[in-house]
Amino acid sequence: MRLARLHEPGEIAVDEVDEPSMRPGSVRIDIEYCGVCGSDLHEFEHGPAPLRAEDRGHVIPESEWSDHLPMPMGHEIVGTVTEVGEGVDRIAVGDRITPCLILPCDDCRYCADGDYHRCERITGPVATPGFADEIVVPASTAVVVPDDVPSRHAALTEPLSVSLHGIRQGGLAAGETVAVFGAGTIGLGVVGAAVAAGAKEVVVSEPRAARREAAEAMGADAVVDPTERDPISFVRDRTDGGADLTVEAVGKEPTLTQSVRSAAYGGTVVVLGVFTEEASIHPNDVMQAERTVVGSFAFRGGHQRDRGEFPAVLKLLSDGRLDPEPILSDVLPLAEVDTAFDRLRDPESDAVKILIEP
């Protein structure tokens, strides 16, 4: 079968490999779509990255790349089960599923508490071989897609779960104001989730025109181009002096500063972007304003799979409260996976989420 792998930063190629072998407790999926994630793009540009910065510094050094390359990528998967392994009874051949790829160790304090996404030895979704014809995953990860959710929307379950988790970490209440910095897939998902959660006003700062338009289509009440106007004063003007909740969905120092300073006094700042480099804020902006800064990583998974964000997102997609269509820019065949990456890293491109269709 075909499997796309990163051979070195900037070079992804479709290789012919053996079909993955079946294991007890697993299911084989005929992949219908696999979305290109911001984390895939990050590794495409910078090389293999550790999940947590504190484990190995902020990047895996070039001298160790040979341990990781060629590296499969692609974890935003939807497809149909074609084979179930020994001992699998909750999933059947023919089920359309999306795998929730938080694979916990089941042995650390966080796993004991059911906080599997905080697991000290978490594996997945990094290096998941999803840009492929098929994949074998543990049946325990499988979440069944409702019949009325089209596969191209179900392929967004994973990134939308990241967005929804961010809103939950920020403790958004109905009637509150929200400012989102960055309208990539995750930021746009935050806009949709905030609107679905009953936010009073959602303001988005984003330099690319196409993404500002997508933010409006997702329900944003106001958008600002931060290269044209100071986004902090824009957010303050729109939200009576500061947003109740701000979300950093870029992973850069300027947007971190903007997220902190445009939050209301007593408001909450969610750090949702993935940072390549360290970034600093002035602690007095937190101290004197009594703001709360919270992190948000992935989504509830592992044995919480059926009680976490995945089923919540699928329900929102199913009943139409969340329409991800503005996020979807294109569907490309597996043979053109390199084009997808080139388009996503081109700052002039209109692309947001590209799905790969094997």
Q: Give the residue with the Cβ less far from Zn ion, 124 or 242.
A: 124
Q: Give the residue with the Cβ less far from Zn ion, 108 or 274.
A: 108
Please calculate the CA angle 154-157-163 and round it to the nearest 5 degrees. Answer: 145
Provide the minimum distance between the beta carbon of 93 and Zn ion in the complex, in angstroms, as a whole number: 27
Q: Give the residue with the Cβ less far from Zn ion, 105 or 195.
A: 105
Upper half-sphere CA count for residue 202 (Cβ side, 13 Å): 29
DSSP letter at 12 equals: E
Provide the minimum distance between the beta carbon of 237 and Zn ion in the complex, in angstroms, as a whole number: 34
Q: Give the residue with the Cβ less far from Zn ion, 249 or 263.
A: 249
Provide the minimum distance between the beta carbon of 299 and Zn ion in the complex, in angstroms, as a whole number: 10
- Contact between 250 and 181 under an 8 Å Cβ cutoff? The reply is yes
Provide the minimum distance between the beta carbon of 36 and Zn ion in the complex, in angstroms, as a whole number: 9
Q: Give the residue with the Cβ less far from Zn ion, 76 or 244.
A: 76
Residue 237, SS3 per DSSP: helix
Provide the minimum distance between the beta carbon of 321 and Zn ion in the complex, in angstroms, as a whole number: 22
The alpha carbon dihedral of 148, 153, 155, 158 has a sign of negative
> Going by C-beta distance under 8 Å and a sequence separation of 6 or more, which residues neighbour residue 89?
none
Pairing of strands 243-248, 263-271: parallel
Q: Give the residue with the Cβ less far from Zn ion, 108 or 210.
A: 108
Upper half-sphere CA count for residue 74 (Cβ side, 13 Å): 35
Q: Give the residue with the Cβ less far from Zn ion, 111 or 183.
A: 111
Provide the minimum distance between the beta carbon of 254 and Zn ion in the complex, in angstroms, as a whole number: 24
Q: State the Cα–Cα distance between residues 96 and 275, nearest whole angstrom.
A: 34
Provide the minimum distance between the beta carbon of 33 and Zn ion in the complex, in angstroms, as a whole number: 13
Contacts to Zn ion by CB under 5 A = 37, 76, 104-105, 108, 111, 119, 158
Q: State the Cα–Cα distance between residues 221 and 13, nearest whole angstrom.
A: 41
Q: Which helix (H) or strand (E) holds 246?
A: strand 243-248
Determine if the peptide bond prior to 333 is cis (ω within 30°).
no
